[in-house]
Amino acid sequence: MELFKAARIDGAGLWQIFFLLMIPMSIPILVVASILQVTGIWNDFLFGVVFAGRENFPMTVQLNNIVNSTQGEKLYNVNMAATILTALVPLIVYFGSGRWFVRGITAGAVKG
Amino acid sequence: MANVSIRELAIDFGSVSVLKSLNLEVKSGEFIVLLGPSGCGKSTLLNAIAGLTDITDGQIWIGDKNVTWEEPKDRGIGMVFQSYALYPTMTVEGNLSFGLRIAGMAKEEIAERVNRAVQILQIDPLRKRRPGELSGGQRQRVAIGRALVRDVDVFLFDEPLSNLDAKLRTELRVELKRLHSGLGSTMIYVTHDQIEALTLADRIAVMSGGVIQQFASPKEIYRRPVNRFVAGFVGSPSMNFLSGQVTSNGGVPAFTLPDGRKIDLNGYEFSGTPGDGRKATLGVRPEQMQFQPASDRASSLPATFTIVEPMGSDNLIWGQVGKETMSVRIDADEDVALNSEQPVYFQPALASLFGEDGQRL
């Protein structure tokens, strides 16, 4: 609160406070929000099955179709490869943004 | 430099009236401290001067301008907050120059002002650091610098030293005083720490319940408090109060304790007529009492002491006069006989007497 008072005394208006102070301060939490969005969409199953159509099934549906098929021989090597490929995208996102993710998750937990 | 004049200021939050028709005249270049317990309205008053709180009634003048409804940035004020309120995403330089950049000042001018501020506050090596990488004292310096670069007429401090440890607080206090004598700006400083108030201020406004109780020099506040609240609030440990009656001892005013003992008040300056037989409270500061009479005009109180508190440079001894608690500050080398009644001496001229309404007699 005192931060915004200080900015007002420095002469910043509402939008200047928003864009020059609040947005830069919120980067970690924005990153966390995007990570959760990306992985959430990627891992979505039911929406994909219902609305995407046969041509555009998401990876989760494809994986299910491969691993849970009941006909023929179980190709464990193919199953495993498919699982890794599916998990790869969330993995990359988490590893790539780990620093920001921890910062955003723990924001508010630390005393400024 | 500018004087600040607050006229009939009133602030209500809903149905709660925080400040009631308050008047305050601050001279140009003066260091004023607003002192009071939590919730007495001192921070609200400061926010009102800064323009951060809407006021209900009254006027605020800074210099020759009525700024009652001006934006904070147009008032010529700079403010330093208790939590420092530095912009965490910017470096020290960025913090200092933020206001100037927003005002659209030329780059060279900004650099010059920032340079001057970091020189004055001795934070030159820290320019590229962010607030998170600074210690408390360094952060507070940057916060002061932010007011400094804007070349303001009036500095407002909202408990700036409360978040620092005791040693650093003492250092920064001296530095603030030096800064004030160097700049000669008007400064208004809010605190609940009476030591800060007594050491820094040219004049102190002691506030309670949204009303200024006394506005005077630190010495005057300490020596001649106008009412019992001011007397009890300023001074540590606080003033000893004894209730009794003002009586006349053959023309000489005296103070009669509940047990009937008379204490000579010869030398006390009454502001009105003493009034024989009127109920009153006698106030004497712990540091104004001794076991040896300091002069032949000293009066004595019968006291029984039970506890000694060593404070390093001196000892604080606690005991009773009648049923009331009394503390006396004595030299650390001085010996005291405990658990037996003995006289303690004080100068009536330095004591305070308060009537039933709490006002000084």
Structural domain count, chain A = 1
In A, minimum Cα distance to B81 occurs at: A2
Tokens standing for B91? 């470096």
Residues in chain B: 361
Residue B182: enclosing H or E segment and its boundaries?
A: helix B166-183
Cα–Cα distance, B204 to B188 (Å, whole number): 10
Domains of chain B, by residue range, sit at 4-233, 240-354
Q: Decide if A11 is inside a domain.
A: no
Residues B301/B244, Cβ–Cβ less than 8 Å: no
ipTM of this model? 0.81
Say whether domain B4-233 belongs to CATH 3.65.10.10. no
Mean pLDDT of the residues in chain A = 86
Q: Is B89 on the interface with A (CB under 8 A)?
A: yes
Tell me which chain A residues have a C-beta less than 8 angstroms from the C-beta of B102.
10-12, 16, 20
Number of H helices, E strands in chain B: 8, 20
Tokens standing for B98? 């933020």
Q: Decide if A99 is inside a domain.
A: yes
pLDDT at A88: 92
B103 to A11: CB separation less than 8 angstroms, yes or no: yes
Q: Is the Cα dihedral B298, B299, B303, B307 positive or negative?
A: negative
Q: Decide if A38 is inside a domain.
A: yes
Q: Where are the alpha helices (DSSP H) in chain A?
A: 2-9, 14-16, 23-25, 27-42, 46-51, 59-67, 76-96, 98-106
Domain that holds residue A47: 27-106
Class of domain B240-354: mainly beta
Give the B window 26-55 contacts with A, CB below 8 Å. 47, 50, 52
Collapse the DSSP code of A18 into the 3-class scheme (helix H, G, I; strand E, B; otherwise coil) and give the result: helix
Q: What is the pLDDT along chain B (361 residues), one digit of tens a residue?
A: 789 999 999 999 989 999 988 999 999 999 999 999 988 999 999 999 999 999 999 999 999 899 999 999 999 999 999 988 999 989 999 999 999 999 999 999 999 999 999 999 989 999 999 998 999 889 999 999 999 999 899 999 999 998 888 898 999 999 999 999 998 999 999 999 989 999 999 999 999 999 999 999 999 999 999 999 999 999 888 999 999 988 877 778 888 888 888 888 888 888 877 777 888 999 999 999 988 887 777 888 889 999 999 988 899 999 999 889 999 999 888 888 888 888 999 998 899 999 888 889 8
Q: Is B102 on the interface with A (CB under 8 A)?
A: yes
Cα–Cα distance, B261 to A47 (Å, whole number): 93
pTM over 0.90? The answer is no
Q: What does the radius of gyration of chain B's CA atoms come to, in whole angstroms?
A: 24
B146 to A24: CB separation less than 8 angstroms, yes or no: no
Is B240-354 in the same CATH topology as B4-233?
Answer: no
Tell me which chain A residues have a C-beta less than 8 angstroms from the C-beta of B87.
3, 6-7, 21
DSSP structure class, residue B353: E
A11 to B99: CB separation less than 8 angstroms, yes or no: yes
Collapse the DSSP code of B69 into the 3-class scheme (helix H, G, I; strand E, B; otherwise coil) and give the result: coil
Q: Decide if A8 is inside a domain.
A: no
Cα–Cα distance, B166 to B239 (Å, whole number): 24
Q: Decide if A43 is inside a domain.
A: yes
Q: Decide if A20 is inside a domain.
A: no
Residue carrying the six token digits 């001196």: B314
